[in-house]
Structure 1
Amino acid sequence: MGPSSSIRAWRPPVPGVAEVLHAHFPHHAYPSHTHDTWTLLVVDTGAVRFGLDRHEHGALRNLVTLLPPHVPHDGRSVDADGFRKRVIYLEADQLDVRRIGAAVDHPGWADPPLRHEVHRLHEALRRAGDSFEAESRLALVCARLEGHLAGLGTAPPAPDRTTARRLRELLDARVVEGVALSGAGQDLGVSASHLVRSFSAEYGIAPHRYLTGRRIDRARRLLLAGHRAADVAVAVGFHDQAHLTRHFKRLLGVTPGAFARSASVPAGRRRRASPRSAAR
């Protein structure tokens, strides 16, 4: 008996994402079926042959595959060892439904930057506490998909400095509470993808990385003032201490604990105010 199928499926708390599926199918073949979502698919091992609206296509490792809602498709492995895939099911309104015909005609692209961004989106969706990063990455992915579907390729949008500045002001005002990208877009009267692209073009950094940097700045000051990392994490807006540690080490190369121990201020002279009040 060969290896059995394995899957992991979940619904992340990210607007626009209906479901995420990571699966290894050594033998399974999909019969013809439909979804009410866009199916954003990357294959990590093997290859998948699928029929879409009575035409044959292949989902390969170097491609990003997009199957439109309400269009019948099936799927089966090309290799004897099966395939591994990762899928994000996007709510139908995340992409222009008028592009369904374009997706039927051309359901995949060899676009390495897009595939890398889809991978990073999956990583963000796997982690608790990274919903703002996932929203930002989702906006970038959808914008690039829209460009392909519209036949525009990856042409950069016109800069919008006013929108970028207004988003930065909003992020600065809500460092601890955080911002829902979809809500910020509604408040500023633009799409989430326009927000992310404008901000990234103006400041050279994605909004979620900017917000993380501001939180790390506050965390550093609290750690040097003698507060515990677990308290600091919540006080500056991180999900928990592990979330703080991951971002802190990625940015500074050391853990929050090691950073705090480097302080030259004697412990007895450090401030005793609560980290929440000190973070403001």
Structure 2
Amino acid sequence: MPGSSRRRPGGVLYIPDVTTERPRTHELRAWRPAVPGITEVLHAHFTDHAYPRHTHETWDLMILDDGAVDFALDRRRHGASDTGRVLLLPPGVPHDGRTVSAAGFRKRVLYLTTDVLPDRLAGPAVDGPILGDAPLRRRIHRLHTALTYEDDALEAQSRLAFVRERLLVHLDAHRVRPPGQEADRLAARLRELLDARIRTGLTLDEATSVLHAHPTHLIRCFTQAYGLPPHTYLTGRRIDRARRLLLAGERPADVAAAVGFYDQAHLNRHFTRHLGVPPARYARAARDRGR
């Protein structure tokens, strides 16, 4: 019925708002991830909507997936229709937003705390809220993908660190330092930490605290030394351990917990991506061969 709502798979709230003037469709998914620095993730599709003038306590980091949006920031109007660009709205500064065509727009938004970006950097963001930076856009997209799964905390934290770094460069508050002579030493120490924490896992904050290194610098050192980022290395070690347990006859649900995956679905997703088959089928094939 008009004005009612129903839940779609994946937590998407579908709200058809049918009026005599113009049909409106809102699709909205929002959640709070278990990643420090991000208060909310929002994915939305609006075909006819206007945000009133308001402010946030957080930074509003938005990418468009389709359509166009018009917004005012600190009384100056802007238009964004290029899906390759990034919108960054600072905390405490009034802004609005509205659709500009019948197709509306699709957006993905991260609300970042002032621990990620200090509010003292609001000035440069007000002067230039639309960033034409394709690498930054790709980093944000990959962060959204990681945030879709609550069980990949290290990956999400690592991707947030690189998004933060590039935003700070845009706001003229950071210079990227390439790995130096200390790279191999830092990488080896991080690898030791990861090997010791295969089941329990390791957060990026813990690693940087123990090793006294900047997050993105630490990840760059590790990637330079071993050819893959820390979160990918940890997942690979877990998969190796899971294979041994499955071949020994352990149940996939027990294996998931034993090697550090959040649950069996988490194990299934990564195992299938690595080996092309889910763990139960892998174990069954091994049993069949042994008969």
- TM-score, structure 1 as length reference: 0.87
Segment of structure 1 superposing worse, 237-246 or 69-78: 69-78
Q: Deviations over 1:203-246 (max 9, x none)?
A: 22111111101100101111111111111111000011111111
Measure, in 1, the Cα distance between the counterparts of 2:127 and 2:229.
Answer: 32
Q: Secondary structure at the match of 1:263?
A: helix
Measure, in 1, the Cα distance between the counterparts of 2:90 and 2:134.
Answer: 21
Quick one: which amino acid aligns to residue 24 of structure 1?
Answer: H
Q: Equivalent of 1:115, from 122, 137, 157?
A: 137
Quick one: which amino acid aligns to residue 46 of structure 2?
Answer: F
**1:226 alignment partner in structure 2:** 249
**1:95 alignment partner in structure 2:** 117
Q: Equivalent of 2:211, from 171, 175, 188?
A: 188
Measure, in 2, the Cα distance between the counterparts of 1:200 and 1:50.
Answer: 39
Quick one: which amino acid aligns to residue 46 of structure 1?
Answer: G
Cα distance, 1:180 vs structure 2: 1.4
Cα distance, 1:106 vs structure 2: 1.7
**1:105 alignment partner in structure 2:** 127
Measure, in 1, the Cα distance between the counterparts of 2:62 and 2:87.
Answer: 5
Q: Which protein has the bigger strand share?
A: 2
Question: 1:95, 1:142 within 8 Å by CA — same for their partners in 2?
Answer: yes
Please say if 1:208 is aligned against 2:266.
Answer: no
Q: Equivalent of 2:268, from 245, 249, 252?
A: 245
Residues 200, 68 of structure 1: alpha-carbon distance in 2 compared, 3 angstrom cutoff: farther
Q: Deviations over 1:229-280 (max 9, x none)?
A: 1111110000111111111111122221222233269779xxxxxxxxxxxx
Please say if 1:10 is aligned against 2:21.
Answer: no
Cα distance, 1:142 vs structure 2: 1.1
Q: Secondary structure at the match of 1:94?
A: coil
Runs of 4+ with deviation above 3 angstroms: 264-268
Measure, in 1, the Cα distance between the counterparts of 2:61 and 2:233.
Answer: 27
Question: 1:142, 1:193 within 8 Å by CA — same for their partners in 2?
Answer: no
Measure, in 1, the Cα distance between the counterparts of 2:158 and 2:141.
Answer: 13
Question: 1:42, 1:65 within 8 Å by CA — same for their partners in 2?
Answer: yes
Measure, in 2, the Cα distance between the counterparts of 1:197 and 1:177.
Answer: 23
Q: Equivalent of 2:48, from 27, 30, 33?
A: 27
Residues 114, 257 of structure 1: alpha-carbon distance in 2 compared, 3 angstrom cutoff: same
Measure, in 2, the Cα distance between the counterparts of 1:220 and 1:187.
Answer: 30
Quick one: which amino acid aligns to residue 105 of structure 2?
Answer: F
Measure, in 2, the Cα distance between the counterparts of 1:225 and 1:51.
Answer: 61
Task: Provide structure 1 residue ranges, at least 5 long, that are not aligned to the other structure.
Answer: 269-280
Measure, in 2, the Cα distance between the counterparts of 1:156 and 1:201.
Answer: 14
Please say if 1:83 is aligned against 2:89.
Answer: no
Please say if 1:139 is aligned against 2:172.
Answer: no
Question: 2:69, 2:99 within 8 Å by CA — same for their partners in 1?
Answer: yes
Q: Deviations over 1:160-183 (max 9, x none)?
A: 413322221111110100011122
Measure, in 1, the Cα distance between the counterparts of 2:218 and 2:40.
Answer: 24
Measure, in 1, the Cα distance between the counterparts of 2:217 and 2:122.
Answer: 22
Aligned residues: 267
**1:51 alignment partner in structure 2:** 72
Measure, in 2, the Cα distance between the counterparts of 1:197 and 1:149.
Answer: 22
Segment of structure 1 superposing worse, 74-83 or 186-195: 186-195
Segment of structure 1 superposing worse, 229-238 or 196-205: 196-205
Task: Provide structure 2 residue ranges, at least 5 long, that are not aligned to the other structure.
Answer: 1-17
Cα distance, 1:152 vs structure 2: 7.2
Q: Deviations over 1:57-114 (max 9, x none)?
A: 2333111111111112111112222111110101111024443222122222222232
